[in-house]
Chains A and B, each alone.
Chain A
Amino acid sequence: MSNESKDLKPATNMTRRTFIKGTGAVAATVALGGVGMVASGADVAEGAPVDFKNAKTFTSSCTMECLHHNLKGYVVDGKLVKIEANYPNDPTKACLRGLSRVQWVNHPDRIKMPLLRTGEKGEGKWKEISWDEALDLIVTKIKETQRELGNQGLCYKTGSGNFGQLVNGVAAAFFNYLGGCTTLVGSLCCQVVTTTMPPMLGSRYEDTRDTIQDSKYILVWGTNPAVTMQSYFYKYMDAMSKGARMVTIDPRFSETAAKSDEWVPILPGTDAALGLGMLKIIIEEELYDKDFLLKHTGVPFLVDKATGDQIKAEGSETGYLVYDEISKGIVPHDQEGIVPALSVAGTDLAAKYTTVFDLIYNEAKKWTPEKVQEETHVPAETVIRLAREYATSKPAMIIQNMGGFQRTEYGSYAVGAQFYLAAFTGNFGKAGGGVCDAGGVGTNIKVNDAIPSPKPQGQFGTIPSPKFGEYILADKPNKIGFMWIMTTSMMTQYPNTNKVKAALKKIPFVVVVDSLMTSTALYADLVLPCTTVFEYTDLLAHNRHHYVQLMEKAVDPPGQAKSDLEIFQMLAKRLGFGEAFDKTPEELIEVCLKGTGITLEQLKKGPVLATPDPYIPYKDGIFKTPTKKAELFVPMWKSKGFNPVVTYIRPNEFIYGDRQLAAKYPLMAVQRKINRTIHSTFGTLPWICEATGSTPHVLIHPEDAAARGIKDGDRVVVYNDRGEHRCVADVKAHIKKGIVALENGWWEQQGGSSSYVTSDFVEPLGGGHSCNNTLVEIRKEA
């Protein structure tokens, strides 16, 4: 909106009344129907104000799939009374969610004892049992399953609800001590980044957040850092104040788009076409950085036309061959004194060989600006301008950050297209440049597993995460008799939720470990109460923050809630796993830290920076691949029957894909992350509900709404063949016409997850999740 915004007249419909009311910010009192959810303020908000002056302070971390900010907790009389960002020991500040954890710890609806189902699954009828009874029952069920179905009848799922070092890894160790089990593979969040980035660049979790403020051009591509990278967003503003241009590509006029110079709406799942179209301009107008391409990328590597494979010097894993323009011969890419040819088109070699550059250009050249416009709805002139701006404003940074663009049917190619753009323009390895992924401690130091995991006693089969429901219902690959779910809420996060629900009902014994009665716990046979942050000791050293942090126990958990670690330790004792699990948290933290150069004593004084500052991934163009170059040809894609270079494949669940389906369900739905939750975490805390609202919404364009007789604030049903999602219409032109934005993370007790309608298609190149290629229709609730 850059050009228009300069002439933009202030909204004229603002009155004093609307100013006082604001919009959306004043939530009505929370109304949570269903099982055991109350909407009253937590008890910390009651009674006489607490005097924080004499409080004892402890530090911990906000450990779900977010930025892992260090937190300072205030304790008075054994009760957690306030949480603040531990600034400046952590130089970025925790957000409203982190501060609200005080209400999580003190939540009146905490689960305090193991709960055994007495009614139907999902009915919410339970009886409290003792830990001894619960553990005996679990051991019995495990043994029964092993006897009747074999180890493949066991399954577990950990998620991103807790990245503590003594949590998820311990589950993996535990199930391997049992001999192994059926496992779920592929993260719902960023699987295709995990499978695309390492073969191309040599690693994952390489974030450029330290130098955002040095960028001259920030291309925010299908992600919304104003919400999902919020504590670093001031750096974007800093860059802009120094003259950087920021452009946001998103179907929705996001919070980030609102801060950008330009919003580029796009059809979901078409990002690779836009990327290739931009690359075509960059190649044809010779805006690429030839020196960088030759020195630091594999685009000159020769490809045998007969086999379609890159050729290598005999006996060498990394000895890719290139055509040397000086000696006019085929030589290893890393030989001194050569000038590799980008292209061999038009030479004698062309009969037998091509180069990676030629392969890439062959894909890019199909995407004329006009064709890109047809496919993506990004105007042709915008495609040309974006390409020129991005290639000539240096350093330029692409913000990828596990964005929604890659949760699409061929998301791997969209991820790859962004890497191509950064490589072709020589933006990698420079302050203010590169491609921003999530990143953190694990990229630079190796933190050990707390409990070394034995090798499983066989291969028991895998379930692609998006297909959890379908696979379980079809006993594919195995009939599952026992399921353990922790640190995740499948009933809010997994696509095609009706199938997930049916699957949880089908599995004879489901254990859910959680601290509150989550949407998933509702469908358990046994719920085990666990601790939350500030109630147990742990180590946080993962891929989201540059600091290693000690998570201190500040208060006792309610009732008989136990840490995930302790639960496994108790079970390990019953199952006779020996001493491996039998250590204190502090001892296990020492194990984790061994060899890192960081000590527990150091961490007791505060978070420890474990990443070079500023961190510049692939500094000076040195990549972490075997060749140390960006390898833009991905053999793994070829082995799966796909083009080894980035290609655009039209999604199926898309208006131009399956036309019959699109006629029935003509609206494209994307699923957005909202300020109130991280996935579903925090979703029922009173302060969060009060500040951000407690009702799911769907954002719909005024023209799409009018065509369906829907007005702003109407209750509507979003539906397709998979199911329906009931919510409230937010009618605004803040989304491209023809697309609607669903909100991620709503609990069953709040009306249910929008994932009831989202696609469970498995992205075929990397095994990813494609919720953002979902077709729906919307009707007014009768």
Chain B
Amino acid sequence: MAKQVGFYMNMANCYGCQTCQVACKSEQQTAPAVSFRRVRQFNNDYPVMHATLSMGCNHCEKPQCLVNCPVGAYTKLDNGIVYQDHSKCIGCRMCVMACPYGVPQYDPEEGKTSKCSYCKERIDQGLQPRCVEACPGGNLAAGDLEELKAKYSGVQEFPGMPAAAITNPSIIINPAKAFKK
């Protein structure tokens, strides 16, 4: 089986501080309104519920961005990273529409789309993705997906999330208690 990197997200312990989101923005120097990692909120009134989930790109086994890109800007690297060659992007936004997780980010100023590269340049230097390194709560982990699976238990989807069968995302989520079975 090919090597595959992944993310573990401990949603059960995430308290939504958004440090990962800003650390990513800072590291990747993305344009205004382009965030490769976002912290989503889930709220309910009766009974009250508030939960947060930090998500970047899930570097899927079957990446829909790659499948639907008309110019072949996306490639799946040896380590499983779904990588975009930004110079090839024509800004057609097919990937934006195709990704079930809303990962690719279109920048109207530039007229192009970009997305999380799993901090490829940092990985090449032996560093962790910046979001993982920055999380004050230690609620994100990165590494070989099989190793992550051995270390953490969790799910690829919970009710309300896109079906994992579409892309087989390389993620393990420990869901917030409201989303646990």
Contact = CB atoms under 8 A, between A and B. Distances in A.
A19 B159 contact: no
A138 interface: no
Nearest to A51: B121
B41 A93 contact: no
B48 interface: yes
B152 interface: no
B45 interface: yes
B31 A233 contact: no
A258 B125 contact: no
Interface string B25-66: 111111111010011111111111111000000000000000
B164 interface: no
B102 interface: yes
A255 B136 contact: no
B26 A82 contact: yes
A231 B45 CA distance: 28
A425 to B, nearest CB: 28
A690 B24 CA distance: 13
A15 B161 CA distance: 7
Q: Looking at chain A, what size class is its interface with the partner chain?
A: 35 or more
B32 A53 contact: no
A44 interface: yes
Nearest to B47: A4
A14 B157 CA distance: 13
A29 B32 contact: yes
B114 to A, nearest CB: 11
Given A5-B177, A44-B29, A96-B17, A230 B44 contact: no
9 contacts: A14-B160, A20-B101, A41-B31, A53-B125, A230-B136, A234-B139, A237-B137, A688-B22, A691-B25
Contacts of B179: 10
Contacts of B13: 234, 237, 259
A95 B17 contact: yes
Interface string A688-730: 1011100000000010000000000000000000000000000
Nearest to A238: B13
Interface string A542-554: 0000000000000
Nearest to B160: A14
A96 B19 contact: yes
Contacts of A25: 18, 21, 38-41
Contacts of A256: 15
A15 B40 contact: no
Given A11-B44, A23-B41, A82-B27, A691 B136 contact: no
B160 A99 contact: no
Contacts of B15: 226-227, 230, 233, 255-256, 258-259
10 closest A-B pairs (Cβ-Cβ)? A14-B160, A20-B102, A22-B40, A96-B22, A258-B50, A733-B45, A93-B136, A226-B15, A231-B136, A10-B159
B35 A691 contact: yes
A96 B27 CA distance: 12
A10, A15, A18, A732: most-surrounded residue (chain B CB, <10 A): A10
Nearest to B162: A16
A1 B47 contact: yes
A8 B50 CA distance: 12
Given A23-B43, A29-B33, A53-B125, A8 B178 contact: yes
B138 interface: yes
B100 interface: yes
Nearest to A44: B29
A732 B25 contact: no
A41 B125 contact: no
Interface of B: 13, 15-19, 21-23, 25-33, 35, 38-51, 100-102, 125, 133-139, 158-162, 177-179
Nearest to B101: A20
A96 B158 contact: no
Interface in A85-120: 85, 87, 92-96, 99-100, 102
A732 B32 contact: no
A337 interface: no
Contacts of B178: 5, 8, 10-11
Contacts of B31: 41, 45
Contacts of A14: 42, 159-161
A223 to B, nearest CB: 14
Contacts of B26: 82-83, 99-100, 102, 687
A675 B18 contact: yes
Interface string A200-242: 0000000000000000000000000011001101100100000
Contact of B48 (A18, A692, A734): A734
B162 to A, nearest CB: 6
Contacts of B19: 93-96, 99, 230
Contacts of B39: 22, 25, 691
A349 interface: no
Interface string A12-48: 1011101111111111111000000001110011000
A99 B17 CA distance: 12
A23 B45 contact: no
A32 to B, nearest CB: 13
B42 A234 contact: no
Contacts of A11: 42-44, 49, 160, 178
B20 to A, nearest CB: 8
Nearest to A49: B29
B101, B137, B159: most-surrounded residue (chain A CB, <10 A): B137
B160 A15 contact: yes
Given A23-B40, A253-B48, 14 more contacts: A8-B47, A25-B18, A84-B23, A93-B134, A94-B19, A226-B17, A227-B17, A237-B13, A258-B50, A675-B18, A686-B32, A687-B26, A691-B35, A733-B45
Contacts of A1: 47-49
A197 B128 CA distance: 44
A697 to B, nearest CB: 13
A734 B160 contact: no
B138 A234 contact: yes
A26 B38 contact: yes
Nearest to A18: B160
A49 B26 CA distance: 10
Contact of A5 (B18, B43, B47): B47
Contacts of A27: 33
A756 interface: no
Contacts of B28: 49
A461 B148 CA distance: 64
Contacts of B133: 84, 87
A89 B39 CA distance: 27
Contacts of A53: 125
Contact of B30 (A45, A234, A253, A255): A45
Nearest to A6: B177
A691 B26 CA distance: 12
Nearest to B179: A10
Contact of B17 (A15, A230, A258): A230
A11 B48 CA distance: 10
A19 B162 contact: yes
Contacts of B23: 84, 96, 99
Given A53-B125, A233-B137, A258 B18 contact: no
Nearest to A4: B47
B94 to A, nearest CB: 15
Interface string A377-405: 00000000000000000000000000000
A649 interface: no
Contacts of A96: 17-19, 21-23
A716 to B, nearest CB: 19
A253 B49 CA distance: 9
Contacts of A675: 16-18
B43 A45 contact: no
A263 interface: yes
A263 B48 contact: yes
B151 to A, nearest CB: 15
A50 interface: yes
A21 B39 CA distance: 10
